[in-house]
């Protein structure tokens, strides 16, 4: 491959993975691999400077500002750092510095793997927080930054203007708890604490950010109006005095001490509360920094020493298959104990069948193990030179190891999934969905209560909910007599729900609330639905061939049939009473935005659907009307740009015939943004 082709290839790879890392918080490439590819591109461009372009990844900071948040122009740019990978490169950095400076002192600090932010104070009070973005323009995440408990909201010294730079991170212990909770609720797991922190800080709802228990460590003073400092470490001491959680540092002018500290930090990284991927070596004198200056991308007075992931060989003793809360089969490697990143590893993730097949992993192999993001042990590769004779390729089982039901591969992914409706491994997640608002809407029976019910052996299937007594529920923690009575009443009341809610609550793949309503209204009863063929199902609008197959397979499963039988015996309604009032909105799509005063989102959506229409969450050329309440946002703007008719609340109610005017109190104001 000629150098021009390789440069083009490297730029495409790096830009794509930079977007995944900075903008989508979903990297697929390790930091170490990315950094080495970037170094290769830098070397090629240095050898062929005529190939350097302004948009090359070597010429700009990764990341961009999302338009989901207001842009912030950084008063002081948030620069990146030049990466180095060896003691020789550290020595070369020191040599370049000493060519221009005679008396040199460095600080050595851990490089926290999180999301870089600028935090601003006016007259000693916190006023704004922004992500780095591309280094010059970031995102305004003030309300989410405000939820970080360790960050002071007011400072002892009230400088007119102060900006500090820090790294928002998620502590390793918090990360482990968050992933455990997400597994229970069936949400995708975060790959590492950095992804979790970045995704949390970019939440539109600050309450979610607060629940994630983010933390921050401050590592640089960007601007201090009215204060002067001689050294970087003096600024760290000052910020610590002001109440900031600051980065630990070592002050030294000796290159041997710098290298020793880099080694020590690597050895002790497992003991730190945050994830780190390197050490930062900085010139300590602020005036000397001005002498050296910066390139278009990085300062000449600092480097980041990047640690390679620690990898060790181990023998693969077995592969154990676990069934997650959503029925996904996850293979786990059992390996001979090996010490990695400060802990003893005995298990490693294998992700899925495709991962095992691609790497040709077999029981009995010698495998190379590392910790992904320094947290999750994973198998990197097989040492084929040490493969024993006779070891066989591994395949995931065709039946669920927990309940024995058939296992199917997702049509649109790599997951293998148990199809059992009564699989114990999926029970808690299944119950949470069954009782949720869009399904059976059983108020007062939330995840915490359901977990206690399962742990106490009170519930093995959704049908068991209808056997519970006040006495059963009252024995649970924090469930007094009144709460237990309310829960039993809500469970009993749910028996009268329309068939569409039951179908939704059954958790059949690809059948949510919308498809469930369509099926209920089309067939009228569960008996009729049970008799429907795949051909009959696919003839219905919004029911494709894949959905029809999932539904038929579910209906024919012995576990599903047992569940339906028990629900019938409990007295759960199996008939559809929610027939469309008329078809005046047939073929029309509505989008709701802004704040309405007489309807909730669910009520307005239901009224549209009862008249044959559809309610969508986004505006497109296919949208028929946009219903705009007070303070309507970007959806209204897009509708106007596309020339889509916009209705006021009164005009929408008039189209409904005025029959919704008394559905909610006059003083109610429901946001539909």
Domain boundary among 418, 442, 477: 418
259 touches 122 (CB < 8 A) = no
In DSSP notation, 296-335 reads SSSBTTEEEEEPPPPEEEEEEEEEEEEE-TTSBEEEEEEE
Tokens of 657: 């015939």
Statement to judge: residues 482 and 593 lie in one domain: no
Q: How far is CA 133 from the centre of its chain?
A: 19
Q: Which helix (H) or strand (E) holds 92?
A: helix 87-100
Question: Higher model confidence: residue 565 or residue 616?
Answer: 565
CATH assignment at residue 430:
1.10.150.20
The mean pLDDT value for 344-351 works out to 88
User: Which residues are tagged catalytic?
Assistant: 111
Question: Higher model confidence: residue 26 or residue 317?
Answer: 317
Gyration radius of the chain's alpha carbons: 30
Statement to judge: residues 560 and 611 lie in one domain: no
Instruction: Return the minimum-mean-pLDDT range out of 189-198, 306-315, 584-593.
Output: 189-198
Statement to judge: residues 90 and 121 lie in one domain: yes
Other beta carbons within 10 angstroms of residue 232's beta carbon come to: 24
Whole-angstrom Cα distance, residue 238 to residue 240? 5
Statement to judge: residues 325 and 294 lie in one domain: no
CATH assignment at residue 77:
3.30.470.30
Q: Is residue 157 part of a domain?
A: yes
The mean pLDDT value for 166-179 works out to 89
Q: Is 448 left (phi over 0), alpha (psi -120 to 50) or beta?
A: alpha
- Burial class of 557 by CB neighbour count within 10 A (0 to 12, 13 to 18, 19+): middle
Predicted pLDDT at 531 = 93
Between strands 625-628 and 646-647, the pairing is parallel
Tokens of 552: 């038929």
Whole-angstrom Cα distance, residue 669 to residue 187? 31
Q: Is residue 665 part of a domain?
A: yes
Statement to judge: residues 551 and 624 lie in one domain: no
3-state secondary structure 556-584: HCHHHHHHHHHHHHCCCCCECCCCCCCCC
Pick the closest to residue 217 from 261, 274, 133 (CA basis).
274
Pick the closest to residue 97 from 222, 281, 323, 317 (CA basis).
281
Confidence bin at 263 (pLDDT 50/70/90): very high
Pick the closest to residue 163 from 86, 72, 48 (CA basis).
72
Q: Dihedrals φ, ψ of 222, to 5°?
A: -80, -40
Q: Is 169 left (phi over 0), alpha (psi -120 to 50) or beta?
A: beta
Predicted pLDDT at 673 = 36
Statement to judge: residues 301 and 316 lie in one domain: no
The mean pLDDT value for 657-666 works out to 44
Q: Is 208 left (phi over 0), alpha (psi -120 to 50) or beta?
A: alpha
Q: Is residue 645 part of a domain?
A: yes
Tokens of 517: 């309503």
Between strands 625-628 and 589-593, the pairing is parallel
Statement to judge: residues 564 and 515 lie in one domain: yes
Instruction: Return the minimum-mean-pLDDT range out of 177-181, 258-262, 538-542, 664-668.
Output: 664-668
Q: Is residue 512 part of a domain?
A: yes
Contacts of residue 50, Cβ cutoff 8 Å, sequence gap at least 6: none
Predicted pLDDT at 334 = 95
> What pTM was estimated for this model as a whole?
0.55
484 touches 473 (CB < 8 A) = yes
Q: Give pLDDT tens digits for 140-163.
A: 999 999 999 999 999 999 999 999
89 touches 278 (CB < 8 A) = no
Statement to judge: residues 104 and 127 lie in one domain: yes
Q: Is residue 576 part of a domain?
A: no
Q: Which helix (H) or strand (E) holds 472?
A: helix 470-474
Whole-angstrom Cα distance, residue 629 to residue 631? 7
Predicted pLDDT at 655 = 87
The mean pLDDT value for 395-415 works out to 87
Q: Which domain holds residue 531?
A: 424-569
Q: Look up residue 406 and give its DSSP letter.
A: B
Domain boundary among 385, 418, 451: 418
Q: Is residue 579 part of a domain?
A: no
Confidence bin at 664 (pLDDT 50/70/90): very low
Predicted pLDDT at 64 = 47
Whole-angstrom Cα distance, residue 298 to residue 286? 16
CA–CA distance from 70 to each of 140, 449, 564 (Å)? 5, 40, 50
The mean pLDDT value for 593-617 works out to 80
CA angle (164 as vertex; 160, 169 as ends), nearest 5: 145
Domain boundary among 375, 399, 418: 418
The mean pLDDT value for 260-284 works out to 90
Q: Is residue 578 part of a domain?
A: no
Contacts of residue 280, Cβ cutoff 8 Å, sequence gap at least 6: 81, 108, 109, 110, 111, 219, 302, 303, 304, 305
CA–CA distance from 325 to each of 42, 212, 436, 451 (Å)? 46, 21, 16, 12
Q: Which helix (H) or strand (E) holds 115?
A: strand 115-122
CA–CA distance from 165 to each of 65, 130, 219, 236, 319 (Å)? 17, 10, 6, 11, 45
Statement to judge: residues 37 and 84 lie in one domain: no
Instruction: Return the minimum-mean-pLDDT range out of 76-85, 241-250, 357-366.
Output: 76-85
Statement to judge: residues 394 and 518 lie in one domain: no
User: Where are any strands of DSSP class E within 400-456?
Assistant: 407-409, 416-418
Whole-angstrom Cα distance, residue 314 to residue 317? 9
Confidence bin at 190 (pLDDT 50/70/90): confident
Predicted pLDDT at 669 = 34
Statement to judge: residues 271 and 331 lie in one domain: no
Q: Look up residue 231 and give its DSSP letter.
A: B
Q: Is residue 105 part of a domain?
A: yes
Between strands 311-323 and 366-372, the pairing is antiparallel
530 touches 554 (CB < 8 A) = no
Domain count, the chain: 5
CATH assignment at residue 395:
2.40.50.140
Whole-angstrom Cα distance, residue 236 to residue 234? 5
Confidence bin at 225 (pLDDT 50/70/90): very high
Confidence bin at 24 (pLDDT 50/70/90): low
Statement to judge: residues 195 and 275 lie in one domain: yes
Whole-angstrom Cα distance, residue 76 to residue 222? 6
CATH assignment at residue 38:
1.10.287.610
The three-state secondary structure class of 85 is coil
Instruction: Return the minimum-mean-pLDDT range out of 283-297, 330-344, 420-434, 597-611.
Output: 597-611
Considering 150-164, 188-202, 321-335, 341-355, the range whose residues carry the highest mean pLDDT is 150-164
Per the prediction, the chain carries an average pLDDT of: 86
């Amino acid at each position: 491959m000629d150098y021009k082709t390789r440069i083009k290839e490297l730029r495409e790879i790096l830009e794509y993975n930079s977007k995944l890392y900075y903008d989508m918080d979903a990297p697929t490439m390790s930091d170490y691999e990315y950094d080495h590819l970037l170094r290769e591109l830098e070397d090629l461009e240095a050898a062929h400077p005529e190939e350097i372009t302004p948009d090359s990844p070597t010429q700009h900071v990764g990341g961009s500002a999302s338009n989901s948040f207001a842009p912030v122009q950084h008063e002081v740019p948030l620069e990146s750092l030049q990466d180095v990978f060896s003691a020789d490169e550290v020595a070369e950095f020191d040599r370049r510095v000493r060519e221009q400076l005679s008396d040199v002192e460095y600080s050595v600090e851990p490089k926290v793997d999180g999301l870089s932010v600028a935090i601003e104070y006016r007259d000693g009070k916190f006023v704004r927080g922004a992500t780095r973005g591309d280094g010059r323009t970031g995102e305004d995440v003030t309300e989410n930054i405000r939820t970080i408990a360790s960050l002071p909201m007011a400072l002892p010294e009230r400088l007119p203007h102060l900006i500090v730079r820090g790294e928002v991170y998620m502590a390793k212990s918090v990360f482990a708890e968050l992933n455990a909770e997400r597994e229970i609720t069936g949400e995708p797991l975060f790959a590492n604490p950095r992804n979790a922190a970045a995704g949390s800080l970019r939440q539109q709802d600050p309450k979610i950010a607060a629940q994630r228990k983010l933390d921050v460590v401050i590592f640089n003073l960007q601007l201090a109006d009215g204060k002067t400092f001689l050294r970087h470490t003096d600024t760290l001491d000052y910020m610590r005095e002001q109440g900031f959680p600051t980065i630990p540092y070592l002050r030294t002018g000796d290159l041997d001490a710098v290298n020793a500290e880099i080694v020590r930090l690597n050895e002790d990284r497992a003991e730190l509360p945050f994830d780190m991927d390197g050490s930062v070596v900085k010139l300590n004198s602020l005036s000397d920094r001005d002498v050296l200056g910066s390139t278009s991308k990085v300062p000449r007075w600092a480097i980041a020493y990047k640690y390679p992931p620690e990898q060790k060989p181990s023998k693969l003793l077995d592969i154990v298959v676990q069934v997650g809360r959503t029925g996904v089969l996850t293979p786990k490697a059992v390996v001979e104990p090996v010490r990695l990143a400060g802990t003893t590893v005995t298990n490693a993730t294998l992700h899925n069948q495709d991962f095992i097949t691609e790497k040709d992993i077999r029981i009995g192999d010698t495998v190379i193990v590392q910790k992904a993001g320094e947290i999750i042990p994973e198998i990197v590769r097989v040492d084929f030179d040490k493969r024993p004779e006779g070891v066989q390729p591994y395949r995931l089982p065709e039946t669920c190891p927990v309940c024995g039901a058939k296992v199917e591969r997702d049509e649109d992914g790599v997951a293998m999934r148990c199809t059992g409706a009564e699989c114990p491994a999926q029970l808690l997640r299944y119950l949470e969905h069954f009782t949720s608002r869009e399904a059976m809407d059983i108020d007062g029976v939330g995840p915490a209560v359901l977990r206690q019910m399962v742990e106490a052996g009170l519930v093995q299937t959704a049908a068991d909910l209808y056997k519970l007594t006040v006495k059963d529920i009252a024995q649970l923690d924090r469930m007094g007599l009144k709460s237990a009575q309310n829960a039993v009443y809500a469970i009993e009341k749910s028996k009268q729900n329309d068939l569409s809610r039951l179908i939704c609550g059954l958790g059949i793949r690809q059948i949510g609330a919308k498809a469930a309503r369509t099926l209920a209204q089309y067939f009228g009863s569960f008996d009729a639905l049970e008799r429907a063929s795949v051909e009959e199902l696919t003839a219905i609008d919004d029911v494709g061939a894949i959905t029809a197959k999932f539904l038929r397979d579910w209906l024919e499963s012995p576990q599903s049939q047992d569940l339906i039988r028990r629900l019938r015996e409990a007295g759960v309604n199996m008939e559809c009473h929610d027939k469309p009032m008329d078809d005046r909105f047939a073929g029309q799509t509505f989008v709701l935005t802004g704040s309405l005063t007489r309807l909730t989102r669910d009520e307005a959506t239901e009224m549209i659907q009862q008249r044959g229409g559809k309610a969508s969450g986004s505006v497109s050329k296919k949208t028929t009307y946009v219903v705009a309440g007070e303070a309507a946002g970007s959806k209204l703007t897009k509708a106007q740009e596309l020339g889509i008719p916009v209705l006021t609340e009164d005009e929408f109610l008039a189209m409904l015939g005025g029959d919704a005017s008394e559905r909610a109190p006059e003083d109610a104001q429901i946001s539909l943004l």
